């Protein structure tokens, strides 16, 4: 039985990863400060002997050292996430994302543990070269616009991971997660699908930001987890960056209509100017679609759960657990 350390293990993606690892017969130690993660995400795992939750911050080096030393592989998912949270509290975002990754990489390097670093499609910024491929330039806005703090902090994490690999041969894989969705994701930090589903189920207005012509491709969390588990089993993945995503591209207006239709909701769809939704001067990316050919080449990855099914699963979970949204 292997021990898998998951930072951010009580978060949305972390808890799904933990579930998959336990189901495969391995053991998970999750470390989470329960800031955006939550005990209830992992309550169903906590009864068994194969799961342990350690409540600590990832920049707590002493705690992390013992946990990394005791692990066979480390998944570093702990981060400040959600565009709304990032815009509201950029100091927290920058400090959490940079310090946490510094600690994890330094200790994984010291104890020679393979590590997967979760980055984000945000690092492509507002590049209009669609689909986004790992070798493309980052196109970020000015440092006076808080949104870009997230991308810049994650880019530093990536640089550091690549640098450890090149200098010391640290077995590290960097993954850029695209819009990853599914049950247990909360809409509290601005994510669009849980927000739309909540609004639709409650009969509230569905709030499309901007004119709704911006588009995304959404990936089911279970599909993303498969890629996360598969990648570090391939030696050629070490020192490399991979997009994890897929699914069909859809505009946010069409998404609002689809959520309304799948939930049988009578909600109105309304548009909200970006300045009101986030902050004055907020810049959104118009299209965000991943090129997953690199991931596919190494792992044979294909997303399996389509958008209709994703919405149905999110809505079903929300109906059964209304407090999650
Ligand atoms: N969005 C929206 N209404 C909401 C929340 C989000 O129209 O209530 C839009 C948001 O402006 C963006 C897209 O949905 O264009 C995806 O937002 P999310 O925060 O889920 O992820 P992002 O792709 O921005 O990281």
72-108 per-position pLDDT tens digit: 999 999 998 877 788 888 998 899 899 999 999 999 9
Is the distance from CB of 101 to CB of 68 less than 8 angstroms?
no
Q: Is the pLDDT of residue 180 over 80?
A: yes
Q: How far is the CA of 174 from the centre of ligand 1 (A)?
A: 24
Handedness of CA 14, 17, 22, 28 (dihedral sign): negative
Give domain status of residue 271, yes or no.
no
Which pLDDT score is estimated for 310?
Answer: 98
The pair phi, psi for residue 155, each rounded to 5°, is -65, -40
Range of the structural domain that residue 45 is part of: 3-182+217-246+288-305
Which pLDDT score is estimated for 88?
Answer: 86
Average pLDDT over residues 49-64: 96
Which among 197, 178, 176, 174 is positioned nearest to 258, based on CA atoms? 197
Is the distance from CB of 324 to CB of 317 less than 8 angstroms?
yes
Regarding the beta carbon of 191 and ligand 1, being less than 6 Å apart is answered yes
Give domain status of residue 169, yes or no.
yes
Which pLDDT score is estimated for 296?
Answer: 98
Q: How far is the CA of 273 from the centre of ligand 1 (A)?
A: 12
Which pLDDT score is estimated for 27?
Answer: 98
Give domain status of residue 62, yes or no.
yes
Pocket probe mutation, ligand 1, options 190, 205, 325, max atoms within 8 Å of Cβ = 190
Which helix (H) or strand (E) is 288 found in, with range? Answer: strand 287-288
Give domain status of residue 90, yes or no.
yes
Give domain status of residue 74, yes or no.
yes
Give domain status of residue 176, yes or no.
yes
Give domain status of residue 273, yes or no.
no
Question: What CATH number has the domain bearing residue 139?
Answer: 3.40.50.720
Catalytic residues: 150
Domains held by the chain: number:
1
Average pLDDT over residues 121-137: 94
The pair phi, psi for residue 3, each rounded to 5°, is -110, 125
Confidence of residue 298 (pLDDT cuts 50, 70, 90): very high
Average pLDDT over residues 176-196: 92
Which pLDDT score is estimated for 325?
Answer: 66
- pLDDT, averaged across the chain: 95
DSSP state of 137: P
pLDDT tens digits along 217-276: 999 999 999 999 999 999 999 999 999 999 899 999 999 999 999 999 999 999 999 988
Give domain status of residue 137, yes or no.
yes
């Amino acid at each position: 039985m292997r021990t898998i350390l998951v930072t951010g293990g009580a978060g949305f993606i972390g808890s799904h990863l933990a579930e998959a690892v336990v189901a495969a017969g391995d053991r998970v130690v999750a470390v989470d400060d329960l800031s955006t993660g939550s005990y209830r995400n992992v309550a169903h795992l906590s009864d068994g002997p194969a799961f342990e939750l350690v409540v600590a911050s990832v920049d707590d080096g002493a705690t992390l050292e013992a946990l990394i030393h005791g692990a066979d592989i480390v998944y570093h998912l702990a981060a400040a996430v959600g565009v709304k949270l990032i815009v509201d509290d950029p100091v927290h975002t920058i400090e959490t994302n940079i310090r946490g990754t510094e600690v994890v990489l330094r200790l994984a390097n010291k104890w020679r543990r393979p590590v997967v670093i979760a980055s984000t499609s945000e690092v492509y910024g507002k590049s209009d070269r669609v689909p986004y491929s790992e070798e493309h330039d980052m196109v970020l806005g000015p440092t006076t616009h808080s949104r870009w703090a997230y991308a810049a902090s994650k880019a530093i994490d990536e640089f550091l991971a690549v640098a450890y690999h090149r200098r010391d041969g640290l077995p590290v894989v960097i993954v850029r997660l695209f819009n990853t969705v599914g049950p247990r994701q909360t809409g509290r930090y601005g994510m669009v699908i849980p927000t739309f589903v909540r609004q639709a189920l409650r009969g509230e207005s569905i709030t499309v930001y901007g004119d709704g012509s911006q588009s995304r491709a959404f990936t089911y969390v279970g599909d993303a987890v498969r890629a996360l588990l598969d990648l570090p089993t391939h030696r050629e993945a070490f020192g490399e960056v991979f997009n994890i995503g897929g699914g069909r591209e859809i505009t946010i207006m069409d998404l609002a209509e689809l959520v309304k239709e799948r939930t049988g909701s009578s909600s109105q769809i309304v548009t909200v100017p970006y300045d009101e939704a986030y902050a004055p001067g907020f810049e959104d990316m118009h299209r965000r679609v991943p090129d997953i050919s690199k991931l596919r080449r190494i792992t044979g990855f294909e997303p399996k759960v389509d958008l209709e099914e994703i919405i149905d699963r999110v809505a079903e979970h929300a109906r059964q657990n209304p407090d999650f949204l």
